[in-house]
A and B are shown apart, each in its own frame.
Chain A
Amino acid sequence: MHSSAVFLIEFGCIILVLGLLGRFAGRFRFSPIPLYLLAGLAFGNGGLLPLGSSEEFVAIGAEIGVILLLLMLGLEYTASDLVTNLKTHYPAGLVDALLNALPGAALALLLGWGPVAAVVLAGVTWVSSSGVIAKVLGDLGRLGNRETPTVLSILVLEDLSMAVYLPILTALLAGTGLASGSVTLAIALGAAALVLVLAVRYGRHISRFVSSDDPEKLLLVVLGLTLLIAGLAQQLHVSAAVGAFLVGIALSGEVADGAHSLLAPLRDLFAAVFFVFFGLNTDPASIPPVLLSALALAAVTACTKIATGYWAAKRAGIAAKGRWRAGGALVARGEFSIVIAGLAVAAGVEPSLGPLATAYVLILVLLGPLTARYTEPLATRLLRHRRAQLAAKPDDTTPLTASAHETISDQDAVGHA
């Protein structure tokens, strides 16, 4: 009786604080994610207020948070969205993966953390935050811009890649040998492929099975099905998150829309708990030693993301200004990076990884909206300055042709990266 009272008080305080922080973030129109992380740092492990009886519930809530985050992500896309994107934009996805995963992996190896941590940090730096970016694009009135489909398709490809990456990571973290590891991987990839095929061919039937006019029943069926599949996936060492993502993909049309609006508040609650939980498990005192590495990594991967967006937009035939806008929009990292780091922390890989990921996400989730807004004006101004300098040279009196102009902006993109 007594401990349940303490639990209610503790959990109530956490949720209330999160609510107030969310309101604060809303007033200044930025993402509440960094504030949730900071709140997590302030509570619990090494923070101001150690938690007692609510810790276990928060841990389970965090797990549900991850599952719901992935389920909602799956609901956002239809299987045909994913297939079309994969077919037409895979080069952009590959460039994105190479440019942005390598800096993370390199830093982990440089710090001597070993190959598993390198794969983790590669994932952390690779994936942009779909949530933050979609919101920023809406806020800046850029949903109609011609570079926006390019930006979105990169996000879609990243999300889809997670269905492959997370099972690999789970297998690595479980420390399973090569043989059983590859079996796990084969199961995971087979399951992902099977669900995609099923969703494309029979999505309507699955949706009809789940469909219900009564919101209560729809909520219970979707939530129950998701947790069940996530649990089974976990049992197979595939990662619960991927299971949830695949359920989201398989549902389509009216059911997906209905489930989306019903589950959004639940997702918001448990996702907030998840961010707090991640912060809870990080000792604030462990952040200052990794702050410099985090800053360096953030600086490098901000530039590689800008280069990625620039390249992808150029490939889609967008003019220079749009290319810079596409690059700047992609910089924000967020929920996924934390999901990946969370898995690694739970598996006990490298104690400094959690603090590094926290600091890294804190920096880029705040920086992302700024680069989205200012990359293009800044790049345009710098280029104009440079062109003026070139034109001022006495031996370079010929007017710049269109192709020369092209080369200059390309050089600048590379220089930037």
Chain B
Amino acid sequence: MGAPRLSSTPLPGIGVRYDLTTREHRRLSVIAHRDGPRTISAYREDDPDACAMSVRLTAEEAATLIDALMPAHHNPNLLSTTGLGLVAERIELTAASRWNGRLLGETRMRTETGASIVAVLRRAEAIPSPTPDFRLAGGDTLIVIGTREGVETAAAILGRE
């Protein structure tokens, strides 16, 4: 099995279509529209000429998707992993979150999970080392560092509504 090959077909007036046939003989294509958007399509197995799914992405959406498709990248929220078994993740509080308007101390995060909230991102500013009397709000992004299990539990706690 050779290296995967991306073949291209010009679509005059629209852009270029790039085709990829996977190792499992499934076909995928990406249309690069001249004005920026991308259309990603997967083909039907009973009618290989037709698309089973065809989704149009804006330039930003395509960039986000590429990020997730990078083989080196294992989790879109992941900041970094270390050899010490610690992970750091960005966890967002929704507007419907139980913690919206409550104090950070009320989550009893460090006691329950051993994970630390090292910073809070709120709109354009970052609040480093928030204290237990820090008041959380919906839309905050918390940076949590801990063991894999600790961070998972933290995500579950922070996800409560």
Residues of A within 8 A of B (CB): 76-77, 81, 84-85, 130, 134, 141-149, 152-153, 155-156, 257, 261, 318-319, 321-322, 325
**Apart from A81-B10, A144-B41, what 16 extra A-B contacts exist at CB < 8 Å?**
A81-B12, A142-B50, A142-B54, A143-B17, A144-B29, A144-B51, A145-B51, A146-B49, A146-B50, A149-B17, A152-B13, A261-B35, A321-B47, A321-B49, A321-B50, A325-B49
Q: A322 to B49, Cβ gap below 8 A?
A: yes
The verdict on B22 contacting chain A, using a C-beta distance below 8 Å, is no
Contact B10 A84 (CB under 8 A): yes
- SS class of chain B's interface: helix, strand, loop or mixed? strand
Chain A residues within 8 Å of B35, by CB: 257, 261
- Residue in chain A with minimal CB distance to B41: A144
- Would you call B51 and A322 a contact (CB within 8 A)? no
- Cβ contacts under 8 Å, A147 to chain B: 49
A-B pairs, 4 with minimum CB distance: A144-B41, A141-B54, A322-B49, A76-B13
Closest to B39 in A: A143
A76, A144, A155, A257: the one within 8 Å of B39 (CB): A144
B45 → A minimal CB distance (Å): 13
From the candidates A85, A143, A319, A322, name the one contacting B12 in the complex (CB within 8 A): A85
B45-87: CB near A (< 8 Å → 1, else 0) gives 0011111011000000000000000000000000000000000
Q: B41 contacts which chain A residues (CB < 8 A)?
A: 141, 143-144
Contact of A322 among B29, B34, B47, B53 (CB under 8 A): B47
CB–CB A318/B49 < 8 A: yes
Centre residue among B11, B29, B39, B53 by max chain A CB count within 10 A: B11
Partner of B50, one of A85, A130, A325: A325
Q: Can you list, as one digit per residue, whether each of B1-31 has a CB less than 8 Å from chain A (1) or not (0)? A: 0000000011111100100000000000101
Query: Roughly how many angstroms separate A321 CA and B46 CA in the complex, as a whole number?
Result: 10
In the complex, the chain A residue whose C-beta lies closest to that of B42 is: A144
Cα–Cα distance between A33 and B43 once the two chains are bound (Å): 33
Could you list some 16 contacts between A and B, CB below 8 A?
Answer: A81-B10, A130-B13, A142-B54, A143-B17, A144-B39, A144-B51, A146-B49, A146-B50, A152-B13, A153-B12, A257-B35, A319-B47, A321-B47, A321-B50, A322-B49, A322-B50
Q: Is the CB of B11 within 8 A of A143?
A: yes
**Which B residues are CB-close (under 8 A) to A325?**
49-50
The reply to whether A319 and B13 form a contact with Cβ atoms under 8 Å apart is: no
Distance between A163 CB and nearest chain B CB, rounded to angstroms: 15
**How far does the alpha carbon of A84 sit from the alpha carbon of B11 in the complex, in Å?**
12
Please determine whether B34 and A257 come into contact, CB atoms closer than 8 angstroms. yes
Query: What chain A residues lie within 8 Å of B31 (beta carbons)?
Result: 143-144
Chain A positions within 8 Å of B14 at CB level: 134, 143, 152
Q: Known contacts being A146-B48, A322-B50, is A152 close to B34, with CB within 8 Å?
A: no
Asked if residues B12 and A156 are in contact (CB atoms below 8 Å), the reply is: yes
Q: Is the CB of A142 within 8 A of B51?
A: yes
In the complex, the chain B residue whose C-beta lies closest to that of A80 is: B10
Contacts of B51 in A (CB 8 A): 141-142, 144-145
In the complex, which residue of chain A has the Cβ closest to the Cβ of B29?
A144
Is B11 in contact with A145, judged by CB distance below 8 angstroms? no
- Which residues of the other chain, A, contact B47 by a CB distance below 8 angstroms? 319, 321-322
With A319-B47, A321-B50, A322-B47: A144-B10 Cβ-Cβ less than 8 Å: no
CB distance from B144 to the nearest CB of A (A): 40
The interface centre, meaning the residue of A77, A130, A152, A325 with most chain B CB atoms within 10 A of its CB, is: A152
Q: Which residues of A contact B48 (CB under 8 A)?
A: 146, 319
Give Cα A318 to B50, complex, Å: 10
Task: Report the separation of the CA atoms of residues A325 and B47 in the bound assembly, to the nearest whole angstrom.
Answer: 12
Cα A156 to Cα B53 in complex, Å, equals 27
Q: What's the minimum C-beta distance from B19 to chain A, rounded to whole angstroms?
A: 9
Determine the chain A residues whose CB is within 8 A of the CB of B11 once the complex forms.
143, 148-149, 152
- B contact residues around A84 at 8 Å (CB): 10
A77 and B49 form a contact (CB under 8 A): no
* B39 / chain A contacts, CB cutoff of 8 Å: 143-144
Interface centre among B9, B12, B14, B17 (most CB of A within 10 A): B12
Interface membership of chain B positions 133-157, coded 1 if the CB is closer than 8 angstroms to chain A and 0 otherwise: 0000000000000000000000000
Q: Given A141-B54, A321-B50, are A155 and B29 also a contact pair (CB < 8 Å)?
A: no
Contacts of A156 in B (CB 8 A): 12-13
Of A146, A152, A321, A322, the most chain B CB neighbours within 10 A belong to A146
The distance from the CB of A239 to the nearest CB of chain B, in whole angstroms, is 22
Q: For A76, what are the chain B residues with a Cβ–Cβ distance below 8 Å? A: 12-13
Set of chain A residues within 8 Å of B43, measured between Cβ atoms: 144
Q: How far is the CB of A191 from chain B (nearest CB, A)?
A: 22
CB distance from B43 to the nearest CB of A (A): 8
Q: Among the listed B9, B50, B54, which residue makes an inter-chain contact with A149, where contact means beta carbons less than 8 Å apart?
A: B9
Instruction: Chain B residues near A318: list those with CB within 8 A.
Output: 49
Q: Which of B35, B43, B50, B51 has the most CB of A within 10 A?
A: B50
Instruction: Please report the C-alpha to C-alpha distance between residue A257 and residue B34 in the assembled complex, in whole angstroms.
Output: 8
